Amino acid sequence: MSDRNMAMARQIAAAVANAGGRTYYVGGFVRDRLMGRENKDIDIEVHGVTVPALEAILRGLGEVTTMGASFGVMGLRHYDIDIAMPRSEKATGRGHKDFEVFVDPFIGEEKAALRRDFTMNALMQDVLTGEVLDFFGGRRDIEAGRIRHVNDATFAEDPLRVFRAAQFAARFGFAVADETTAISAGMAVDALAPERVMGELEKALMKAARPSIFFTELKKMNRLDPWFRELDALPEDALARTMARLDAAAARRSLAQRPLDFMLAAVCAGLGPAGAAAFVHRLTNAVEATRYVLNMVECLGRLAACLEADPGEDGWMTLFDASVCPEDMLLLARAAYGDGSPDWPATGERLRGLYALYRERMARPFVMGRDLVEAGVRPGPDMGRALKYAHGLRLAGVEKAAQLQSTLDWLRRGGDGEEASHA
């Protein structure tokens, strides 16, 4: 955490105290402090002074920014501190943002904490004295490794909290309390915005050692459907394999070229092309991410078939060439087939050798369009077909001069569809 930001938090708290109020660290900052985890997001809540009084205090310390003036949320330019005032909320609809917010600096600490989602996030710590206020047993729940909601009425107003419970369970290795599981099972989550659900899934996939907990907790709540209905439809043994693959992938995500997309591919790998497409399209419209995941699912399926019936060198070269990221495909293959397999060390070594051969071949000079033009081939359909044929020769390890000659001979024969690797 930034000493500079902490020093400013204390300056604000001292000025607020001089005005008759109190300032608390709140939310995840207090939780993570008690758990011995680093959290650079400093959130403070100011009680006992009016909104104009707080604005005047902040103007005396720097340039005030308003991140949500109607919600009583402010900041200071050049400082990473969220400064909020106590508020209460009233649901006005079924979505995550369908709330009417009331700022009340004098509501009192316990009522202010009542709007928090889980007891571990309802903890407050006085910035100046270090005193921790724990109205709902948050410290006890942290010690017990338990995710427990604060209040039935306020919790049920925000359906996103169903997914927050699951992602906190995954990140911290905690269990969701029975009463929180029960209330979550009765909450409708279908009206949530896809980006909000994806945000919670991303935290689980990228921050948890065992992201499978996210899905297993949702299954206990009977809330995999509708957002993750493809997982919900899997037989128990297939779901178990998917979760094992996901956790194995998490151990390797830091090595992936595209870590989040890699983790999404690990979730989708057992869903088949149609299931994977439905799963991803429901959560995101990011074109590159979707292309990566669907390609990874397809290539992993092809890789599994290759492992069962070795297609020979040409077949492996074609597989690597089809992958948008062969390095990540091999990482995912290790997660899917390698962990716990006594045969994997030898298999993995062979795959790495084949991939090294593929890269070496791709680094050699190869036939390009200008080479064909110089040889008299006119731009058009024949050019595209010829380049594809030449690329097959390249994959087979044929040198550039021989690629060009074989391609020209193939064109003279009318481009009869003969496989380039067999020319």
Mean pLDDT across the stretch 106-126?
96
- In this prediction, residue 231 carries a pLDDT of 97
Which of the 8 DSSP states describes residue 119? G
In which band, very low, low, confident or very high, does the pLDDT at 66 lie, cut at 50, 70 and 90?
confident
Identify the H or E element spanning 235: none
Spatial distance between the Cα atoms of 90 and 273, rounded to a whole number of angstroms:
42
pTM: 0.89
- In this prediction, residue 421 carries a pLDDT of 47
- In this prediction, residue 330 carries a pLDDT of 96
pLDDT per position as a tens digit, 248-291: 999 999 999 999 999 999 999 999 999 999 999 999 999 999 99
Residue 420 clears pLDDT 70, i.e. is over it: no
Q: What angle do CA 142, 148, 154 make, to 5 degrees?
A: 135
In which band, very low, low, confident or very high, does the pLDDT at 422 lie, cut at 50, 70 and 90?
very low
Which two structure tokens, joined as six digits, stand for 32?
A: 């993570």
With pLDDT > 70 as the criterion, what percentage of the chain qualifies?
94
- In this prediction, residue 50 carries a pLDDT of 93
- In this prediction, residue 112 carries a pLDDT of 94
Mean pLDDT across the stretch 361-384?
94
**Which position has the token pair 């109205």?**
135
Spatial distance between the Cα atoms of 257 and 325, rounded to a whole number of angstroms:
8
- Which alpha helices (H) appear in 36-108, and where do they start and end? 51-59
Cβ distance 415 to 390 under 8 Å?
no
Residue 71 clears pLDDT 80, i.e. is over it: no
- In this prediction, residue 38 carries a pLDDT of 86
pLDDT per position as a tens digit, 395-419: 999 999 999 999 999 999 888 665 5
Which two structure tokens, joined as six digits, stand for 277?
A: 């497409």
Mean pLDDT across the stretch 167-182?
98
Which two structure tokens, joined as six digits, stand for 410?
A: 């193939």
Bridge-based pairing of strands 87-91 and 99-103 is antiparallel
Cβ distance 187 to 195 under 8 Å?
no
